[in-house]
Amino acid sequence: MPIVTIDGVSVEVEAGTTILNAARKIGGDLVPPAMCYYSKLKGSGGKCRTCLVEITKGSGANPTPMPKLQASCSTPVADGMEVKNMTSPKVQDMRKGVVEFLLINHPLDCPICDQAGECDLQNLGFDYGVAKTRYQEERRTFDKINIGDKIQLHMTRCILCYRCTYVADQLTDKRVHGIMNRGDAAEISTYIQNAVENEMSGNMIDVCPVGALTDKTFRFKSRVWFLKPFDAHRECTKCCGKTTVWMFGNEIYRVTVRKDVYHEVETLEDGKPAYICNDCRFEKKNVNDWTIEGPRKFEKFSVINQGNYTRKMERVEIDTDPRILYGRQEDKKAISMNGTNFNKPEKALSDGKDTDGQF
């Protein structure tokens, strides 16, 4: 089996493994970020170019370095290969460039985006982005599209990773969803605003690395970091029924698949990815529908992981003016939504009225 060295750490992997998966086997900081690659979707990867790495030694037999940076998600390892990721200034510089490219047409509407807090692009931006943009022109915008009554597509936020089209290809039977146009006018769309009517279509939301595809039953209901994730399961005839439910108090706000540290859907004991059906995702919002297994132990490193109970939590003392803390009390009340019948507001935030381009 080939042995590959990444940032000075050697690992033995099966022949044909990609550099990215070899790095994931080692784990830790040296794993290149991936926006488009999704190990459970065949054919994904190679597009976003955030996982570029420098190959300083091609293989033991042919030690010439590769002249160009290679996409680690689609380059297979060779025995004796040496790869530089975090230790290569060239890679770090180019990755900053790629992040800048991804962000120039991104609306940066994180304050009103449902994905904020668990967004791959946000994390990438924190790691490699710069606070100031050099882009002066108008950003590209699109109209919002409803893909079915439960999924909202907001192309303006999309980074064209193609993951959702692979979901449509590989999980659903009728293909009505793909890429239209080309270049920076390219957009994910359904065939003449067709709804993707399929039991598994909701998984698009989970594979989307940004907030382009959002769950309409959860849209604008809460921020993800206010919710507590619990592993839960139910008997389901259509899918595995193993999910994460996101709760606030005793209410289930949303249901997602169980995601691993790379923000990909977890693998079941039988080796299949634990995708869930639309019934479990959109319809079962009552605690009695579920058997709660217990708090979720980990998530990827992100804002939502800040409240991870498995780590030791320090009590934070805020040493400031009590009048400021008064505002904090008010915030707390607002966040907890005590007294608001939030799930039945007078005007639903996600009843399609928000398609006027305000958000």
Q: Residue 97, interface with another protein (CB under 8 A)?
A: yes
Q: What's the distance, CA 165 to chain centroid?
A: 15
Choices 155-163, 168-176, 285-293, 309-317; region in contact with another protein by CB under 8 A: 155-163
The verdict on 307 binding another protein (CB under 8 A) reads: no
Please, which of residues 130-149 interact with another protein by CB under 8 A?
Answer: 134-137
Q: Minimum CB separation from another protein for residue 188, in Å?
A: 11
Q: Is 98 in the site for another protein (CB under 8 A)?
A: yes
Q: Is the dihedral of CA 67, 71, 74, 79 positive or negative?
A: positive
Rg (CA), the chain: 22
Q: Is 107 left (phi over 0), alpha (psi -120 to 50) or beta?
A: alpha
Number of residues that bind another protein (CB under 8 A): 36
Residue 101 within binding range of another protein, rule CB under 8 A: yes
Asked if 233 is part of the footprint of another protein (rule: CB under 8 A), the reply reads no
Q: Does 25 bind another protein (CB under 8 A)?
A: no
| Residues 102-131: x where in contact with another protein by CB under 8 A, - otherwise, as a string | x-xx--------------------------
| E strand spans, 51-196 | 52-57, 70-71, 82-84, 145-147, 151-153, 177-180, 187-190
Strand stretches in 206-267, DSSP E: 213-215, 228-233, 242-248, 251-256
Mention every residue, 6+ apart, whose C-beta is less than 8 A from residue 93: none
Please identify, using beta-carbon distances, which residue of 101 and 342 lies nearer to another protein. 101
Which stretch of DSSP H or E encloses residue 99? helix 89-104
Q: Near another protein by CB under 8 A, which window of 65-73, 232-240, 283-291, 331-339? A: 65-73
CB 290 within 8 A of CB 245: yes
225 contributes a contact to another protein by CB under 8 A = no
Nearer to another protein, 66 or 287 (CB): 66
Strands, E, within 96-225: which ranges? 145-147, 151-153, 177-180, 187-190, 213-215
Residue numbers at the binding site for another protein (CB under 8 A): 45-50, 52, 67-69, 71, 74, 76, 94, 97-98, 100-102, 104-105, 134-137, 159-160, 162, 178-179, 181-186
